[in-house]
Amino acid sequence: MQKEVTIQMSNSMEATPIAHLVQLANQFTSSIYFEMDEKKVNAKSIMGMMSLVLSSGSRVVIDAAGDDEEKAVEELSEFLTK
């Protein structure tokens, strides 16, 4: 399951929000990847996620596969747009 999300946060996502995003991703059994530009990184990897440099207005594709993929995509996209 894939969903494109436009990030809507006030500042670029620094270490703390990225850590919370990775913790959220790790709550799911599905494999979850974020795709941005030419990069595809494991959403459960703190170093991978920090390498994306997510900022407000950026578009990212959440790609999840597994038993709880729908819930994972829903919760991660909600996190990025609040």
pTM given for the model: 0.90
| Enclosing domain of residue 49 | 1-79
CB 32 within 8 A of CB 42: yes
pLDDT digits (tens, 9 = 90+) for 41-62: 999 999 999 999 888 899 999 9
CB 79 within 8 A of CB 61: no
Give the range among 12-21, 28-37, 65-74 with minimum mean pLDDT: 12-21
CATH of the domain at 29: 3.30.1340.10
Specify the pLDDT at position 26. 98
Residues 6+ apart with CB under 8 A from 23: none
Nearest Cα to Cα of residue 76 among 60, 62, 58:
62
Q: How many CB atoms lie within 10 A of CB 77?
A: 17
Per the prediction, the chain carries an average pLDDT of 92
CB 34 within 8 A of CB 23: no
pLDDT digits (tens, 9 = 90+) for 61-76: 999 999 999 999 999 9
| Count of structural domains within the chain | 1
